[in-house]
Amino acid sequence: MNFELYSFWRTSATFRVRVALNLKGLQAVEHDVDLVAGQQRSADFLAINPMGAIPALIDKRPGQSPAPLTQSTAILEFLEEAYPAPALLPVDLHERARVRSLCAMLTADTHPLMPPRVKKYLTSVSGFDEAAWRAWQTHWLTTGLTAFEQRISTDRASADYCHGSQVGMADICLASVVMIARVFKLDLPAMPTVDAVMQRCDQLPAFARAAPHLQQGAPKL
């Protein structure tokens, strides 16, 4: 086993890493860090990742640094560089930039607005109740995914998947954000192109096996 992955069952960023490992045929021992119980601030976990954040990927291959690889987008790029096949990015530089740009619409423009620490601020400082929080989540998921839908539905570079006919990094990022709406049962407007891509992803074992409710620590359905 070449990798250890510190994760939490429903964390969107961990999901990205899990899918990328699966797509590349890599196996990782996964360790559950219960964010609800605050385990990310435990001495045990801080000894592994002093930043107290997941996902944290440990490279156990001989001769590699024990320092954790952190931040999902950096880990995806690392896996792509360390294990180029199957590729998650196209070869052409403009196409690579397009895929990374699609990823950033989700991992930078959308997802960072809704982690637990943002909920904590809005509920404890700004007086958000549960309905206001769900409206916030719904607003930013709708904003981000509607823009994404517009982009992939109007650009012929998108086909079966977000870029062309091969699954890749943008699909991973898309699924990781759609997952948030699923986990929290949020109603989003119709997005036919996004839905079609997601249906294809859902059928791939690499995505299906990464589903939140199948992971360690997930509540029984």
Q: Which residues of the chain form contacts with a copy of itself (CB under 8 A)?
A: 50-51, 59, 64-65, 67, 69-75, 77-78, 81-82, 93-94, 96-98, 100-101, 103-105, 107-109, 111-113, 117-118, 121-122, 125-126, 128, 132, 135-136, 139, 143, 147, 150-151, 154-155
Pair of tokens at residue 17: 């890493």
Q: Which is nearer to a copy of itself, 33 or 57 (CB)?
A: 57
| Smallest gap from residue 140 Cβ to a copy of itself (A) | 8
Q: Which is nearer to a copy of itself, 118 or 196 (CB)?
A: 118
- Euclidean distance between CA atoms 75 and 70, whole angstroms: 6
| Smallest gap from residue 139 Cβ to a copy of itself (A) | 7
Q: Which is nearer to a copy of itself, 74 or 208 (CB)?
A: 74
Q: Which is nearer to a copy of itself, 15 or 217 (CB)?
A: 15
| Smallest gap from residue 28 Cβ to a copy of itself (A) | 15
Asked whether 152 and 162 are in contact (CB, 8 A), the reply is yes
- Nearest alpha carbon to residue 26 among 66, 63, 78: 78
Collapsed DSSP state (helix, strand, coil) of residue 143: helix
Pair of tokens at residue 120: 């904590």
| Smallest gap from residue 4 Cβ to a copy of itself (A) | 15
- For residue 123, the cross-strand partners are none
| Smallest gap from residue 65 Cβ to a copy of itself (A) | 5
| Smallest gap from residue 73 Cβ to a copy of itself (A) | 5
User: Going edge to edge, which strands form the sheet with 3-7?
Assistant: 28-32, 3-7, 56-59, 69-70
Q: Which is nearer to a copy of itself, 170 or 211 (CB)?
A: 170
Residues 6+ apart with CB under 8 A from 47: none
- Euclidean distance between CA atoms 91 and 99, whole angstroms: 11
CB burial class (10 A; 0-12, 13-18, 19+) of residue 33? buried
Q: Which is nearer to a copy of itself, 61 or 220 (CB)?
A: 61
